[in-house]
Amino acid sequence: MPELTRRTSLTAIAIGLIAGILAGMFGVGGGFIMVPLFVMWLKSERKIAHATSLAAVVPIALSAAIGYALHGQVDWTAAAFVLSGSVFGALYGVKLLSTLPVRTLQLVFSALLFISAIRLLWSEQPHQLFTGLTADVLLVVIGFAAGVMAGLLGVGGGIVIVPALIISSGLDAATARGTSLAVIIGTGISGTIANIRKGNVNLGIAFMTGIAGIPGTLIGVYLSNVLPEKVTVQLFASLLIAIALKQLPKESH
């Protein structure tokens, strides 16, 4: 990833604003858009892009979570259960990031986006299915899986955390998104510390992108409360599919 010049700084700011808006709207960290844009616009190495994205996710998720919390849309108890699994999952994901080939990383990232888009388009709004100890255990397990995704792919994991919160804690969609963002803060910190120790993070780009994402989250939180849910979900799913297709590894000749 290049050094911070005027051009790369402006590009990082643009990426952060886009990621922030999407984070606020959908309760995700924004990594699913930052990773491909780091690669395409900043010509970053793929593994550096994933690690830098996760670092940038932290201030973006923090800002968006505050926006939801001010509306009373964060369940701190549920967040604690998910976070207890995700912080350890993130450490394992970072370990995988250092060992997996770049082509495999591309395929896994694209597959995650395809699966996420299909789930959004195919499934109805989930309802609470579990209660008591079973629900709590499921939240920890889902948290671990989301943490692995965060550490490996540089995404917050909100795409799996949000429905898990709804089926296990009976949260409404907005509160599930806010709670997911609260979890992503801790997950991102855990994974980023591990990535810094491995020298995988471009701290300058991460800082510029993350700070630029903060005003974007305010716009995203506002849009999430005024736009029809069905429309935003369809737009989000379409975006995921487009990014997934773009991220598929090219065949070498």
DSSP secondary structure of 107-153: HHHHHHHHHHHHHHHHSPPP-----HHHHHHHHHHHHHHHHHHHHHH
CA pair distance 193, 190, nearest whole angstrom: 6
- 10 Cβ partners below 8 Å, 6+ apart? none
Contact 144, 85 (CB under 8 A): yes
pLDDT, one tens digit per residue, over 90-115 is 999 999 998 999 889 889 999 988 88
Tell me what the mean pLDDT of segment 19-43 comes to.
89
Tell me what the mean pLDDT of segment 160-166 comes to.
86
Contact 248, 107 (CB under 8 A): yes
What is the b/e burial string over 4-16, where b = at least 16 CB atoms within 10 angstroms of the residue's CB? eeeebbebbbebb
Rg (alpha carbons) of the chain, rounded to whole number: 17
Tell me what the mean pLDDT of segment 230-243 comes to.
83
Q: What is the pLDDT of residue 251?
A: 57
Tell me what the mean pLDDT of segment 19-37 comes to.
87
Closest by alpha carbon to 218, among 75, 68, 14, 73? 68
With bands split at pLDDT 50, 70 and 90, how would you rate the model's confidence at 252? very low
pLDDT, one tens digit per residue, over 190-204 is 999 999 999 999 999
CA pair distance 86, 83, nearest whole angstrom: 5
| Per-residue pLDDT at 87 exceeds 90 | yes
CA pair distance 84, 187, nearest whole angstrom: 9
Position with higher pLDDT, 144 vs 223? 144
State if pTM tops 0.75.
yes
| Per-residue pLDDT at 117 exceeds 80 | yes
With bands split at pLDDT 50, 70 and 90, how would you rate the model's confidence at 25? confident
Mean model confidence pLDDT for the chain: 89
pLDDT, one tens digit per residue, over 124-135 is 566 777 788 999
